[in-house]
Homo-oligomer: A and B are copies of this chain.
Amino acid sequence: MAQAIPIRKNSPLKASCHQCSLSNLCLPLAIEENELERLEDIVQQGRIFNRGEHIFDQSTPFRSCFAVKSGSIKTSIITEGGDEQVTGFFMPGELVGLDSMSGESYACTAKALERTSVCEFPIEKLEELTGKMPELQHHMYHLMSQEIQNSHQLAMLLSKNTAEERIAALLLSLSSRFQRRRLSPTNFSLPMARNDIANFLGLAVETVSRVFTRFQNQGLIRARGREVELLDVEALQTVTREFSRQGCQ
């Protein structure tokens, strides 16, 4: 695992949630301007991971949650059999590691899908802080609860929906998450490989590929490689009977 960049107080590197463009999506969202410094005091900002590097590994000691600053992360569980199950994709402003707060070790592995920078929240300090700041505690409950809901939505998607519905749902989920960050909701680049999509959605890679081309032939999307353009969002919403990962914040 990469080494943390040492942070000196008042250095240019000192954590600045104040100036972070994601402060309206991330933990700072929950707290007053004047209390922000207490959060800044515990966060280690600016750790960078290259594509493929692990932010943390399953079964290693659980120390911190991480907020994505830029780039993207995939989390996955590895079973004894060696099978991988992708449990989520995390974009800037989203918090990774909430599923690991029940034990002494990480419940999954987090891997950078591209060059990614994160803010690290050491768990003891975070717990201590949430104990003192009711709004922050409330926000943590909120985030964790949201994570449960997301996972339930995924379970529903996996158990009731066809391949087309699953993929449409994923595309729309990504779209809305790009939109939250004031990026184009119809024109973006998938951070993950077809393989990861397939694994996440419980499909074979071939099926994912087929559905992509089917959508393309129907004029719903245009895709070459990871570049995707949503041409008919309405139609995609129709394909997705009900699923919507309604904003992960």
Contact surface of A with B, Cβ cutoff 8 Å: 77, 79-81, 83, 85, 87, 98-103, 107-108, 127-128, 130-131, 134, 137-138, 140-149, 151-152, 154-156, 158-160, 201-202, 241-242
Contact = CB atoms under 8 A, between A and B. Distances in A.
Nearest to A142: B102
A31 to B, nearest CB: 14
Q: Is the interface of A mostly helix, strand, loop or mixed?
A: helix
A147 to B, nearest CB: 5
B142 A141 contact: no
Contacts of A98: 144-145, 148
Given A85-B160, A137-B131, A155 B151 contact: yes
Given A134-B131, A138-B127, A145-B144, A160 B83 contact: yes
A116 to B, nearest CB: 21
Identical chains in the assembly:
2
Contacts of A80: 242
Contacts of A142: 101-102
Contact of A158 (B103, B107, B144, B159): B159
A129 to B, nearest CB: 11
A196 to B, nearest CB: 13
A39 to B, nearest CB: 16
A156 B148 CA distance: 14
Contacts of A87: 152, 155-156
Nearest to A199: B159
A94 to B, nearest CB: 14
Contacts of A159: 85, 158, 201-202
